[in-house]
A = this chain, B = another copy of it.
Amino acid sequence: MKKTFFTVGPSELFPNVSSYIREALENNICSINHRGREFAQIVEHTVSSLKKLLNVPEDFYVFFISSATEAMERIIENCVEKRSFHFVNGAFSGKFFSIAQQLKKAPEKTEAPFGYGFDLSKIQIPQNSELLCFTQNETSAGTAIDMEDIYRIKRANSEKFIAMDIVSSAPYIDVDYSLVDCSFLSVQKGFGLPAGLGALIVNDKMVKKSLLLNDKGLNIGSYHSFPSLLSSINKGQTPETPNALTVHLLGRVCDDMISIGLEKIRNDTEQKAKLFYDFFDSHSELKPLVQNNDWRSKTTLVIKTPNGSKQIIDKLLENGFAVSSGYGEFKDIHIRIANFPAHKVEDVERMLRML
């Protein structure tokens, strides 16, 4: 039986990805020289399509890295001398904070309970924070932060940098990059691609900060320092031999999403999210973890399964639908469902009928 993956990432492949892979194999994309013109054109095309799709200003850089986890490390390493400040309400925002600790910085944080958002009016951001770190969509808890809240914080702290994890909300989330210095994504979620590639979207001020830290004698890493990534991407290259196939595929999928229109993708995402939440809000047993509508993620839903997640997961699997279990300690009492561009309205309706 054909399986549809509503898992929160890796997830369902975007339509045509399999045929793009076959085509790439025929065109020797996996054998071509990563320092040659042909691959540089692929890199330039993918960067340009991703920027066009996400409406990223011309003067931002796109750096390819291997995962969103790597993005967190590189951002802290390159742009924090001492203090980052983290908005933590789940496992991925918590990981961003831990990485700063592991890199021997002195991060601080504000925490919200699992499944809750932040009461931003009450949060005191320390004066000496250099970088404010947001996980815009927290995949472990099914929460999302309103972009207007992030913009408000940036406006009130314009001298501080903003780093934003949009791993499980891109390309759905509409970002005003003039107020977000740095954001990052990986390709196995909303872009419906095989895992093993991430992208950092960074402005020039962040690169300048990394140069400043380097001049001060700090360790900003080696091949994936921002100056090294910049010098390579300016030649249509990456510092290392990259995951060339997926760089190519990301460009193809961005092109397809541009053709479909991001407005339509966003409208469809909201329509499917409404189908999901309406269904679970009126379900007798399976309820959304996140109560407050303002905090609910549109792209990754967490549903409580008071009688255990396993029976629901198994029942759905028998009917051809894969969903994720809860994150970490919530493995047995939650399920998580993705609502990415690869997921069709009909598939959502078919799956909900099974429940």
Residues of chain A at the chain B interface (Cβ within 8 Å):
3, 5, 7, 9-13, 17-18, 21-22, 25, 28, 30-34, 66-70, 72-73, 95, 98-99, 102-104, 186, 188, 193-197, 217, 219, 221-225, 239-246, 322, 324
Contacts and interface: CB of A to CB of B under 8 A. Distances in A.
Given A223-B73, A223-B99, A33 B324 contact: yes
B73 A221 contact: yes
B10 A194 contact: no
A196 B12 contact: no
A304 B114 CA distance: 64
Contact of A241 (B73, B195, B223): B195
A241 B10 CA distance: 8
Pairs of residues from A and B, 5 with the lowest C-beta to C-beta distance, nearest first: A196-B243, A66-B66, A69-B240, A67-B240, A30-B194
30 contacts: A3-B28, A10-B33, A13-B25, A30-B194, A33-B324, A34-B195, A66-B67, A66-B240, A66-B243, A67-B240, A67-B241, A69-B223, A69-B239, A69-B241, A70-B240, A72-B222, A72-B223, A73-B222, A98-B222, A102-B219, A102-B225, A104-B219, A194-B243, A195-B243, A195-B245, A196-B242, A196-B243, A196-B244, A196-B246, A243-B246
A102 B221 contact: yes
Contacts of A243: 66, 194-197, 243, 246
Contact of A31 (B21, B31, B34, B322): B322
Nearest to A11: B31
Nearest to A67: B240
Given A70-B223, A103-B219, A241 B28 contact: no
A105 to B, nearest CB: 9
Given A13-B31, A68-B240, A69-B239, 4 more contacts: A10-B244, A99-B222, A102-B222, A243-B246
Contacts of A98: 222
A219 B5 CA distance: 39
Nearest to A194: B30
Contact of A188 (B70, B188, B241): B241
